[in-house]
Amino acid sequence: MKTAFKIILYSFLLFIGHTVWSQQTVIDSLKRVYKVAKTDTAKVNIYNQLAFELKESYTDSSFYYASKAEVFARKIKYNDGLANAAINKGNANIIVGDYPEAKKQFAKAKAIFESLLKDDEDNKTYIYGLARCYSSLGVIFSQEGNYYESLDNYQNGLKLYQKINNKVSISKSYNNIGIIYKSRGNNAKALEYFKKALKIQEEIGEQTMPVTLTNIGVIYFEDNKLPQAYSYYSKAEKLFKTIENTRGSALLQNYWGDYYIKKSEPAKAEAYYKKALEMYQSIQNKFGASLALYNLGTLYFNQGKYAQAMPLASQSLEYANEIGALDQIYHSEKLVSDLYNIQNQPDLALQHYKNYVIARDSLNTMESTKKFDRAEMDFEYQKKEALFQEKNKRQNLLLVFSIVGTLLVIGLIFLLINRQQVKRRLTLQKEVAEYEQKALHLQMNPHFVFNCLGSISSFIVQNGTDSALKYLSKFSKLMRLTLEYSKDPLIPIDKEIESLQNYLELEQLRFHDKFDFRIASSEKVEFNMGLPPLLIQPFVENAILHGLVPKEGNGVIYVDFDVENGQLVCTISDNGIGITKSAAIKENSMKAHKSMALEITRKRLEIMEATISKSAQIDIRELEENNTVVGTRVTLRLPIQYIQ
């Protein structure tokens, strides 16, 4: 989480970090032009440009000129100028950490540009202004730790920049999207976007190039490729000296500090952290200052300099709370708690630890990846859809010139009628399959609950009511998960893993740790992949009851998720007594009963195949070594489906 906090700082750098070689020269020039400006619209534009130029160095002045532009623009009903004034005020609010007010300003500008585009949809100025709104909102959401909303806004902005071929802004958008992937731990995807950005920046000589170089250096640093990280950091530092970008340079100092911590050179790390703090405070950036203070406090804490660490940690926490930076609140609360604990102040240590837990739980709540992955899919889909529509448009033009009008009308009418009939028939077939699938799912729910209740009954008899309380607690959590997702046709992979984890822990309690288990998911499995609920559990149950319980000694169950040949592969394997011996025991048992789970599961897979027209197979076989049965493996090969 700490790395995510630092990396999203660059979102802001990339969008509003458009620096100039001599800012004061530009400002003086604008003031001279204003004196001879004859129209009110020209004055509004100059005020907005002054607000833009002053936003980083003189935030109060930026507010002043943006407010002047707003007043003039409203007076003359100049909506373009009014929207740009709102953007400038929003950017100034970001710098001082007032995110709620910044959101209001960007929402206001966004509404104005959308209204203007209704009457002039190809106006590049309006398209650029709307793109800036999306990108600025992406900055705020990233700094708040809401990466899903941030990615969605960055992608919307990117599409608009691509529409007008604004390469400078396209490169910044690529970089910002890379930052989001980086914050989500997908370094490979992040590096791909960073290099796209760097290629454009090298082509056009864009001054945000040192930001991109730093981002690439961070990737190599986290992959423990320190020589490459040093190389990119050094290139970035050299370029930062040629431009005015205090914020970018400050964050690079933080990264240098981290680098020297890893190199076990704390004196150099301390110097860089102090330099970063000084830079952030010079531009009144509480977001970055909170991070620098935390880094220094952590350094002193690790050196046993607790008296020096405490004021830094407290100040970091104060800044983080002021701007609502949840990720930094999480880290700073923990550091303050640890310091109070060492100083024998348990009450204060406990209070801050509770705050740390609250922040941690809030961050965990935001960890759902459904919206994040859905935004990515929507972006890729819309790109393909746009290409398809363009191709279809050309084909229709050729058709118009090649077919006589009367025949075209008749053909179109016939085609529409035929397609409507086919669509109606396919819809009915799909609905029948879905209802049949739901009916089988409804059979599966009571079967699962019945088995779980039976397990509880056995556990209470064997262990007494006191031990059963822990079992019942886990069972209630499992039931909540089951009921929450049983109404949906698909359950996210991470929730399926969580359910299996709970169920296996229940069975471990029931059978006195007679077996161990491991659940694993490969890197190929994406967060928003899904599978039907209660599809895996029956096989895990069979592995326990019929494979491991009859076995002498302890056993192991492995549940693995992977992607092979365009299919989601779920494997359940155990080192139990095997299918043949289990069947023989069951045959001789007075308690033998007909199992519904396997039959229902096979039918569910058949309906899945019919519904989505993709293959779904199940394979159950014994495992052998030297002609001796050593367990059972169940392999489910399912079509890849995504949570909508």
Q: Residue 598: which CATH number?
A: 3.30.565.10
* Sheet architecture: strand order including 567-574: 515-521, 555-564, 567-574, 628-639, 617-625
For the record, the structure tokens of 455 come out as 């397990």
CA distance to 56, 155, 262, 265, 335, per residue, from 133 (Å)? 18, 12, 39, 43, 36
Strands 515-521 and 555-564: parallel
Specify the pTM. 0.45
Let me know: does 600 contact 581? Beta carbons within 8 Å: no
Q: Give domain status of residue 637, yes or no.
A: yes
Residue 264 in 3-state DSSP? coil
Domains in the chain, number: 1
Q: Which of 437, 482, 475, 483 is nearest to 458 (CA)?
A: 475
Q: Give domain status of residue 454, yes or no.
A: yes
Q: Give domain status of residue 638, yes or no.
A: yes
* Residue-number span of the structural domain to which 508 is assigned: 430-642
Q: Residue 582: what pLDDT?
A: 86
What is the DSSP secondary-structure string of 380-391? Answer: HHHHHHHHHHHH
Q: Residue 29: what pLDDT?
A: 63
Residues facing residue 228 across a β-bridge: none
Q: Give domain status of residue 47, yes or no.
A: no
Q: Residue 216: what pLDDT?
A: 92
**Mean pLDDT for each 10-residue chunk of the chain (644 residues)?**
45 41 53 60 81 71 83 88 89 84 91 90 91 91 81 92 92 89 84 90 85 90 91 91 86 92 92 92 88 92 92 91 86 91 91 89 66 50 55 68 76 77 60 48 52 66 66 73 70 88 86 90 88 85 90 92 93 92 76 59 75 83 91 93 82
Instruction: State the burial class of residue 590 (Cβ atoms within 10 Å of its Cβ: 0-12, 13-18, 19+).
Output: exposed
Q: Count other C-beta atoms under 10 Å from residue 412's C-beta.
A: 12
Q: What's the CA gap between 319 and 297, in Å, rounded?
A: 14
End-to-end CA distance of the chain: 27
Q: Give domain status of residue 147, yes or no.
A: no
Residue type, 472: L
Q: Give domain status of residue 456, yes or no.
A: yes
Q: Give domain status of residue 565, yes or no.
A: yes
Q: Give domain status of residue 502, yes or no.
A: yes
